[in-house]
Amino acid sequence: MVIVGPTAVGKTDLCVQLAQELNTEIISADSRQFYRELSIGTAKPSLADQGGVTHHFIDSHSIHDYFSPGDFEREALLRVTSLFEQHDFVIATGVQFSVRQFIQWSAQELGIGLRFEGKGVEEKATVTSIQGDMAPGLKVGDVVVQIDPRYFRPTEVETLLGDPSKAKQKLGWTPEITVQEMCAEMVREDLEQATKAALLKKHGYKISISAE
């Protein structure tokens, strides 16, 4: 099971609850929390936050040690293999969607119509229509999505699809929210934060907006 999301939305608490329920361990993929010397600004979970659950890659290395993404991949795979020998449940939706679809759902939640054109790194998304007042900073014809090859990861997984059938049969587990519902929830939260920020800025307050 992979739990991802923006900062400060409760990922750690959710992971601990799931790990306790499923009697398993947690493998952290944070790029800074595995450094013992970095505690400020990394939101590293305390021992109390970890809830007695074994966490891998928390305070596991020194900042003075060389530890590349390749090293992390090798060590993480070894630990995943070990865990799967003990626990082989997969919690997943069993469905798969593209980044393009996620962008389209997000735009629809804001009343924005998009047209995708081009192929490969030349693909772009242009605004074709705007309904309502939830996107005041946009106009028809604006390009809102472009691809920047600088952000490509050399070890990117092109496709990943989990089979949750055993978890459903043995644990009685079923997903309680669809990816579309999750997308809508995230957009609503971002819109609320953006509305607050715009109001503060309008009244002369200086604000710092995360680029995550």
Question: Does residue 134 sit in the same domain as residue 185?
Answer: no
Question: Does residue 35 sit in the same domain as residue 87?
Answer: yes
Whether residue 212 is predicted with pLDDT greater than 50 in this model: the reply is no
Q: Quick one: which of 8, 68, 13, 14 has its CA closest to 177?
A: 14
**What end-to-end distance do the CA atoms of the chain give, in Å?**
23
Give the mean model confidence (pLDDT) for residues 104-112.
Answer: 96
User: What does the chain come to in residues?
Assistant: 212
Question: Does residue 88 sit in the same domain as residue 165?
Answer: yes
Structure tokens at 27: 């493998």
Q: What does the pLDDT read at residue 54?
A: 86
- Going from the C-alpha of 152 to that of each of 34, 49, 138, the distances in angstroms are 23, 33, 27
Angle between helices 179-202 and 99-109 (to 10 degrees): 50
Q: Using only the alpha carbons of the chain, give its radius of gyration.
A: 21
Task: Please say whether the dihedral angle defined by the alpha carbons of residues 148, 28, 212 and 71, taken in this order, is positive or negative.
Answer: negative
Work out how many domains the chain is built from and give that number: 2
Show the domain range for 130: 99-151
Higher pLDDT, 132 or 165: 132
Whether residue 209 is predicted with pLDDT greater than 70 in this model: the reply is no
Give the mean model confidence (pLDDT) for residues 81-97.
Answer: 77
- Amino acid identity at 92: A
Give the mean model confidence (pLDDT) for residues 83-103.
Answer: 81
pLDDT one-digit tens code per residue, 3-19? 887 777 788 888 888 88
Cβ-count burial of 26 within 10 angstroms (0-12 exposed, 13-18 middle, 19+ buried)?
A: buried
- Tell whether 207 is covered by a domain: no
Whether residue 211 is predicted with pLDDT greater than 60 in this model: the reply is no
CA distance 171 to 167: 5
CATH of residue 49: 3.40.50
- Tell whether 6 is covered by a domain: no
Question: Does residue 105 sit in the same domain as residue 90?
Answer: no
Question: Does residue 92 sit in the same domain as residue 112?
Answer: no
Give the mean model confidence (pLDDT) for residues 35-61.
Answer: 81
**Mean pLDDT estimate for the chain:** 85
pLDDT one-digit tens code per residue, 147-160? 998 888 777 777 87
Whether residue 210 is predicted with pLDDT greater than 60 in this model: the reply is no
Whether residue 139 is predicted with pLDDT greater than 50 in this model: the reply is yes
Express as a percent the part of the chain with pLDDT over 70.
Answer: 96
- Tell whether 57 is covered by a domain: yes
Question: Does residue 107 sit in the same domain as residue 186?
Answer: no
H/E stretch holding 4:
none
Question: Does residue 20 sit in the same domain as residue 81?
Answer: yes
CA distance 74 to 145: 34
Q: Quick one: which of 182, 176, 106, 181 has its CA closest to 144?
A: 106
CA angle 85, 54, 93 (to 5 degrees): 60
- On whether the CB atoms of residues 117 and 143 are closer than 8 A, the answer is no
